[in-house]
């Protein structure tokens, strides 16, 4: 969406039209485009993995500072006294602390391949119908 100059405001898609050359105040050639969209779109479902490679899903029950859609792969988190319901971790600000950081190899691979993976999945769905 960002490549096309679009962003979400609630359920509404906002498209920004590039201004003519020479306009000042443009970010990426588009007037008014926010640098970072800070609106929360949670709750978020996270796939988390410990150092041993065991994976588990967690769901954000209330907004947690640092959890957002554009978090880098490999973000470090500290979890204490987390409730587990049907194999899902129930995350709240009281039991979750986001430290930040990223695993550079995972993040670069994800960013480089995400559009190709999504396009391949879309083509597969189109061929089935």
Q: Which residues pair with 11 in a beta bridge?
A: none
The mean per-residue pLDDT over the stretch 58-70 comes to 89
Tell me, yes or no, whether 38 lies in a domain: no
Report how far apart the first and last C-alpha atoms of the chain are (Å, whole number).
25
The H-or-E segment that residue 8 falls in is: strand 6-9
Tell me, yes or no, whether 29 lies in a domain: no
The H-or-E segment that residue 45 falls in is: strand 45-49
Tell me, yes or no, whether 59 lies in a domain: yes
Range of the domain at 70: 45-102
Tell me, yes or no, whether 19 lies in a domain: no
Q: Write out the two tokens for 120.
A: 């391949």
Count of structural domains, the chain? 1
Tell me, yes or no, whether 26 lies in a domain: no
- The pLDDT value recorded for residue 36 is 47
Q: Does the pLDDT at position 87 exceed 50?
A: yes
Candidate from 17-21, 77-81, 109-113 with smallest mean pLDDT = 17-21
SS3 74: coil
pLDDT band, residue 39 (cuts 50/70/90): low
The H-or-E segment that residue 118 falls in is: helix 104-128
CATH of the domain at 85: 2.40.50.770
CA distance 57 to 79: 13
Half-sphere exposure in the Cβ direction for 6 (13 Å, CA):
7
């Amino acid at each position: 969406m960002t490549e096309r100059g679009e962003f979400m405001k609630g359920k509404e898609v906002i498209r920004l039209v590039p201004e003519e050359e020479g306009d000042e105040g443009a970010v990426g050639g588009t007037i008014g485009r926010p640098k970072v969209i800070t609106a929360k779109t949670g709750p978020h479902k996270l796939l988390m993995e410990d150092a041993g490679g065991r994976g588990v899903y967690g769901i954000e029950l209330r907004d947690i500072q640092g959890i957002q859609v554009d978090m880098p792969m490999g973000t470090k988190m500290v979890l204490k006294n987390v409730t587990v319901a049907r194999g899902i971790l129930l995350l709240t600000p009281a039991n979750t602390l986001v430290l930040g950081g990223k695993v550079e190899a995972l993040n670069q691979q994800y960013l480089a391949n995400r559009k190709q993976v999504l396009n391949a999945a879309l083509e597969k769905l189109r061929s089935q119908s």
